[in-house]
Amino acid sequence: MSSAAGKRALLLGAGFVCEPAVQALSDAGVHVTVACRTLSAAQSLAGNYSNTTAIALDVANEPAKLDATVSQADIIISLIPYIYHAIVVKAAIAHSKPVVTTSFISPALRELDSRARSADVTVLNEIGLDPGIDHLYAVKTIDEVHRAGGKIHAFTSWCGALPAPENSDNPLGYKFSWSPRGGLLALLNSAQWYRDGQITSVEGEDLMAAATAQGLFPGFNFVGYPNRDSAGLRESYAIPEAHTVFRGTLRYAGFPEVIRALVGLGYFSQEKIPALASNFSERLTWAQLTAQLLGLAASASAEDVQDAVVRKCSVILAEKGENKEEIDRVLSSLRWLGLFDGTRLVDGRDTPLDTLCAVLERQMAYQPGERDMIVLQHLFDIENADGSRERRTSTLVEYGEPVGPGSRSAMAKLVGLPCAVGVLAVLEGRIQEKGMVAPWTNARIAETLRGELKARFQIELKENIA
């Protein structure tokens, strides 16, 4: 039994990544209080495990209740949206309680660093999958190479959260296990990275056009596109010698082209449209909404709309040289989504993006018996101390459990279990650093957490040298 047995953890949140954390902590003898705005959600999660309690708590609107609840715990786990972490950390500092999150250290948390240090409080962040496992294994190889007198000439990292191949059975080859809005908006993020010693960038509107085929494994038809700001990792990872530093996101082939078409048609717009208001007197059909987004007359027929979409998509996709077969595939995908349907009424959600999200959430959800998959691979181009060169890969492929009662997705396991390992390491006194702590920036902490993940849950990246 863990030396943390008998300690009390307050878990804020009841989302899909929380269950593996609750299970692991319960198994270690930690009493977990699950707190959520919706009591039924907290009860549904807590009811599956011994030594757990469920309460209703709205972090943003119940400061007194948050303060009282924090005061009774030995550690706080914040798995709610990152914008609320600062509220939680302030309450924890007031009562000298440690905190664990799986999120990046935001500017708002950075501002609390000195206060946390003064209060002798540990705030362990970035201990999930991304950020978390990815960084822990990137710095492992980098540290090993540097200690042996070598250099990292290039670092490239790919990560993808995908349906397992047998369940990638829709035109985008993708499925959502939570609200798709955040995932869709991420497709509009700009990105920058180092390539051949120079910073290269792409604007968000062109992100999908930057996608390229990736042959990580012969059996997978992957494409990848840049993931936000990779350039800062050259300094963070202490690899000033690296001429290439890049992080990217993996999807199945065909995904970027459909997204580019949806963006070009106006379906990613966050502008409110009166006809999409829930109280609008006359609902549109999907063909009418597509027509409106393209600037066509309200009387345009479904055939007219489809012809206009063909012309628009031909222009959008021709910019990257896609052929007629690829354009036809994209049109088939849009047809599957129902965007040319002249009979089905739109369930308006104020904006085109939110209206589209409601469709994707329904048509692209995991069904019973289906499973997800996480692929993470780091690639290092290395010059050894003797001048020899090698390419080293560090790879993790994790499959989720088929969807059903009590099942755990790969994403939930690879976020929730590292979080639990971090919580136990703090409770057991193996992480005592104060202030805002990112575990991968401390070699001892990183080694501790890698070892725990492997020993407790068999989670590790497998290395190969070519």
CATH class of the domain comprising 8-125 = alpha beta
Q: What is the mean pLDDT of the chain?
A: 94
**Cα–Cα dist 330/265, whole Å:** 12
Catalytic residue among 130, 134, 341, 372: 130
pLDDT at 319: 66
pLDDT-based confidence at residue 348 (cuts at 50, 70, 90): very high
**Cα–Cα dist 323/351, whole Å:** 32
φ, ψ for residue 120, nearest 5 deg: 60, 40
Tokens of 125: 């962040």
pLDDT at 320: 64
Higher pLDDT, 218 or 177: 218
* Known active-site residue 347: no
Residue 330 has pLDDT above 90, yes or no: yes
Residue 376 has pLDDT above 70, yes or no: yes
Lowest mean pLDDT, pick from 26-30, 344-348, 371-375, 411-415: 344-348
Higher pLDDT, 153 or 322: 153
Tokens of 131: 């950020």
| Over residues 162-167, mean pLDDT | 97
Report which listed range, 193-207, 292-306, 320-334, is most confident: 193-207
pLDDT at 325: 85
Higher pLDDT, 406 or 42: 42
**Cα–Cα dist 150/193, whole Å:** 22
| Over residues 317-326, mean pLDDT | 74
Give the list of residues 6+ apart from residue 434 with CB closer than 8 angstroms, or none: 116, 117, 120, 121, 122
As annotated, the residues of the chain forming the CATH 3.30.360.10 domain(s) are 133-256+367-399
pLDDT at 324: 80
pLDDT at 322: 64
| Over residues 111-130, mean pLDDT | 97
As annotated, the residues of the chain forming the CATH 3.40.50.720 domain(s) are 8-125
Dump pLDDT digits (tens) for 53-110: 999 999 999 999 999 999 999 999 999 999 999 999 999 999 999 999 999 999 999 9
Dump pLDDT digits (tens) for 191-202: 999 999 999 999
pLDDT at 177: 80
pLDDT at 279: 82
Residue 288 has pLDDT above 90, yes or no: yes
Residue 1 has pLDDT above 70, yes or no: no
CATH architecture for residues 133-256+367-399 = 2-Layer Sandwich (3.30)
Lowest mean pLDDT, pick from 180-184, 209-213, 386-390, 428-432: 180-184
Percent of the chain with pLDDT over 70: 99
